[in-house]
Amino acid sequence: MSRETVVNFILAALLLAVPLLANAVGQPFYITLATRIAILALAATGLNLALGLGGLVSFGHAAFFGIGGYAAGILATHGFSGEPLVFGLSGTNQMLVIWIVAAVTAGLAGLAIGAISLRTSGVYFIMITLAFAQMVYYFAVSWPAYGGEDGLSILVRNQFPGVSTMRPLSFFLICYVVLLAAIGLFALIRASRFGSALQAARQNPVRVATVGIRPFRIRLTAFAISAMMTALAGALFADLNRFVSPSMLSWHMSGELIVLIILGGTGRLFGPLAGAALYVIIEYALGGITERWQFFLGLILLGVVLFARGGLLGFIAGKARHG
């Protein structure tokens, strides 16, 4: 086992242990905090697929995060009120259905946005993805049907077969399992031929093209899968907060997702989890100490970029094996 594998294993175990312990001693808030970490890590794992493996720096993944959130919010609202949604279809409060709708919607949005954005590269790509996210953001802010800027409350957390989702620990376990599944999928993709082609397209697009692979298709597929994963996280995030609002779609959110990945270690399997854990803990701890917490958060982030290259995992587990 490499050092990184050990660290990964410890991270996964810690994330599970803390809520169990918190549950045992009757401190449910730490379960909520761990759930938040798991969900943000899931969103960032999605982005990591595009950004870490494919080198596609999307500054607009908040769009997919928000689409997932709104899918959950809108379906749950209609499920609760009984009003039909569109074409006589009704809403639902079943998480499994919501997840599928969220992922498919975001996947389609990802295909559309990706198809246009992937014509560009570098800074242009960063900015065009931002532009698309801003469009979705302003649409959500000014569209009155689902709360506009005020957002949408989900009165009762959605259901999962055989589990009481209102119990913090149960809901955490759902998110935890989904996160591990997503990390597993990330590992599979990275090791697959598709994943190799994706990484090769990042490192040397010309060579990939000469062996007959079209980088555009590979990147587009990766971008869409990445969007779906992030949307799934968005749906869970909506259920965690029992609330969705346009701020899930804001450019700050896109920025935060990137921050999580870099904090943890770009392109690494458990980088997003390490980053999310570090970020949430810093935010929580500083927020309790001083109202100037954003100032110190800024200093810490700056310190990480300047002095701890490769993020937290790079710092603990040494240089990454791959590019």
Restricting to residues 172-231, which ones interact with other proteins according to CB under 8 A?
A: none
The only residue of 51, 71, 249, 257 in contact with other proteins, by rule CB under 8 A? 51
Q: Rule CB under 8 A: is residue 131 a binding residue for other proteins?
A: yes
Query: Nearer to other proteins by C-beta: 24 or 211?
Result: 24
In angstroms, give the least distance from the CB of 182 to other proteins.
21
The only residue of 18, 106, 175, 248 in contact with other proteins, by rule CB under 8 A? 248
In angstroms, give the least distance from the CB of 253 to other proteins.
9
Q: In the stretch 79-118, what mask flags binding to other proteins with x, by CB under 8 A?
A: -------------------------------------xx-
In angstroms, give the least distance from the CB of 37 to other proteins.
11
Count of positions on this chain that bind other proteins (CB under 8 A): 73
In angstroms, give the least distance from the CB of 319 to other proteins.
16
3-state secondary structure string, the chain? Answer: CCHHHHHHHHHHHHHHHHHHHHHHCCCHHHHHHHHHHHHHHHHHHHHHHHHHHCCCCCCCCHHHHHHHHHHHHHHHHHHHHCCECCCCCECCCEHHHHHHHHHHHHHHHHHHHHHHHCCCCHHHHHHHHHHHHHHHHHHHHHCHHHCHHHCEECCCCCEECCECCCCHHHHHHHHHHHHHHHHHHHHHHHHCHHHHHHHHHHHCHHHHHHCCCCHHHHHHHHHHHHHHHHHHHHHHHHHHHCEECHHHHCHHHHHHHHHHHHHHCCCCCCHHHHHHHHHHHHHHHHHHHCCCHHHHHHHHHHHHHHHCCCHHHHHHHCCCCCC
The only residue of 6, 10, 83, 143 in contact with other proteins, by rule CB under 8 A? 143
Segment near other proteins (CB under 8 A); pick from 6-14, 123-131, 225-233, 315-323 = 123-131
In angstroms, give the least distance from the CB of 99 to other proteins.
20
What is the spatial distance between Cα 84 and Cα 55, in angstroms, rounded to a whole number? 41
The only residue of 6, 10, 90, 138 in contact with other proteins, by rule CB under 8 A? 138
In angstroms, give the least distance from the CB of 276 to other proteins.
13
Q: In the stretch 282-321, what mask flags binding to other proteins with x, by CB under 8 A?
A: -xx--xx--xxxxx-xxxxxx-xxx--x------------
